[in-house]
Structure 1
Amino acid sequence: MTNYRFYVASSLDGFIADDHDSLDWLVTQPIDAHGFMNYNRFMADIGVLAMGHTTYQWIVDHNMTSGEPWPYEVPTYVFTHRDLTPVADTIQTVSGTPGEHRAELVSAAGDKDVWIVGGGGLATQFARAGMLGEVMVSIAPVFLGSGRPLFTDAFNLELEEFDRNRAFLCARYSVRGPRAEA
């Protein structure tokens, strides 16, 4: 069964990017590429990427400026209402809610999972649709004070496992559901 996973790094105060969409705070932190919750192990289980326009544009602007190819081989769905010219054949733009594209995402993922890449707002939309099963967060030892939030709604999670990867506290949570209003 396809699992929808939000694999993300966050500042200690809950932001995934600063006010200028910069990740400088993240890329300066030491991490063991083979350590707990490492990227390569995670990607081995991923069949599809889902991201919003801001994340897509950040990748294009910061990773492809020197003529490098799109860094992902698996199909990528960019959720946006903007006109966008994909930079690779594996990229498809979609509009609407994640729930409207559930069957397509599952089919494209095959026997693998869907990675919700960046974008706390998009991850929240997946959660609202009952399509977010797991949050994997690597927490960096930095306060940003403001920026793009890790998540934008009240949801209950359950801690499944945690460990340290050099500078990061890494934790994997299962999503239990929206928090009930008191």
Structure 2
Amino acid sequence: MKKVILDLAVTLDGFIEGSNGEIDWCIMDDDMDFDGFLASIDTIFYGRTSYDAWGNYQPEDGASAVEQKLWQDVHSKNKFVFSSQERQDPNATFISSDIAKKVTEIKQQDGKDIWLYGGAGLIKSFIQLGLIDTYRISVHPVALGSGKPLFEDLKERLQLKLVKTNTFRSGVVQLIYEPVR
């Protein structure tokens, strides 16, 4: 069965974006093997706001070949958007109800794993519904002091088991956890 993987950058003080939505603190180094991660998935789950911002994003003219390939790889995946707004979109399937049931159906399909991209509201819903199989949290060596926290409004304690760590030359430390069930 496919796994839902939350792969996310977070600051040392636990924020996934700054107070104004900024993510300029995120580091993308080649030793992080993001291409390898993209090769391990065939599906991306978005919230509507994140999809509207990034789901069809195209790099600027003159962007490096590496950046162009990265976005080409991202856009080659199956995209599902979880939103209360129903919408027809040739690049994505919109899901507006029965989140847990739909996620279970998608996980049972043949193929590779699923990237839970976000945003914060969707991540919160997936945490509360117990739909995340793997947490890949990349802690970046910066503290913002304020912003959007990763773990917000938890209804109950979230027990996780550390299964792997990766340290990158930039100082980013990736922590890979699985829920204790």
Instruction: Please name the residue that 2:177 is paired with.
Output: 173
Instruction: Provide, for residues 52-108 of structure 1, a one-character-per-residue CA deviation record: whole Å limited to 9, x for no partner.
Output: 1221122158x337488874211111111135563xx3311111353031244225x
Instruction: Please name the residue that 1:99 is paired with.
Output: 100
Instruction: Please name the residue that 1:79 is paired with.
Output: 82
Mapping of residues 16-165 of structure 1, within 5 Å: 16-26=16-26, 29=27, 31-33=28-30, 35-36=31-32, 38-59=33-54, 63-64=57-58, 66=60, 71-82=74-85, 84=87, 86=89, 89-106=90-107, 110-152=110-152, 153=154, 154-165=157-168
1:113 and 1:60 map into 2 onto residues whose CA distance is 18
Gaps of 5+ in 2: 62-67
- The one-letter code matched in structure 1 to 2:103 is R
Q: Give the match's secondary structure for 2:20.
A: coil
Instruction: Please name the residue that 2:65 is paired with.
Output: none
2:132 and 2:51 map into 1 onto residues whose CA distance is 20
1:20 and 1:64 map into 2 onto residues whose CA distance is 22
- Rate the CA distance shift 1:24–1:32 in 2: closer, same or farther, 3 A: closer
Instruction: Please name the residue that 2:64 is paired with.
Output: none
Instruction: Return the TM-score normalized by structure 2.
Output: 0.79
Post-superposition offset of 1:161: 0.9
Between the two proteins, the alignment pairs up a number of residues equal to 168
How many percent of aligned residue pairs carry the same amino acid? Answer: 26
- Superposed structure 1 runs of 4+ greater than 6 Å apart: 67-70
Contact 1:73 1:90 (8 Å CA) reproduced: no
- Rate the CA distance shift 1:120–1:151 in 2: closer, same or farther, 3 A: farther
Post-superposition offset of 1:128: 2.6
Instruction: Return the TM-score normalized by structure 1.
Output: 0.79
Instruction: Please name the residue that 1:180 is paired with.
Output: none
